[in-house]
Structure 1
């Protein structure tokens, strides 16, 4: 799965769109208590997410693979997609 669009939302979710047109919301909140993701509690840092195609990453070193995102995202219907 190749990520083509990633948008951080106010509620610590990520809007994710992949190359086949599917889209979903991925909740990052469960990860924020871990040491690697703790810096993302700062909204400014969270919003600095970078799309690297097969994973997303932040300047603090936290990252999520496309496979992890796909396994745990809430799929959006095409009407609900951004």
Structure 2
């Protein structure tokens, strides 16, 4: 199944708010990922807070993204 992130923004320096195309809403905590591997770039709070949806997943200006399946399956539903 394909999950599209329609809306996304940072709630703080580690947590995303997400809305999916099927109406699901939730939060996704990235605190375990930030600072690790490619996500090192998101250690800068300004960079993390620049998160947005591209209509498919969450993207950052630095070129990073994260799989929408990961976001959907592991977000805490609201």
TM-score, scaled relative to structure 2: 0.85
1:23 matched to 2:32: no
- State the Cα RMSD in Å: 1.3
Deviation of the 1:21 alpha carbon = 1.4
Q: Which has the larger radius of gyration?
A: 1
- What do residues 3-57 of structure 1 show as CA deviations (whole Å, max 9, x unaligned)? 1110201141100011121101001111113121111111111111131222211
In structure 1, list runs of 5 or more residues that go unmatched: 77-82
Q: Which has the higher contact order (CA 8 A, sep 6+)?
A: 2
TM-score, scaled relative to structure 1: 0.81
In structure 2, list runs of 5 or more residues that go unmatched: none
Q: How many residues align?
A: 76
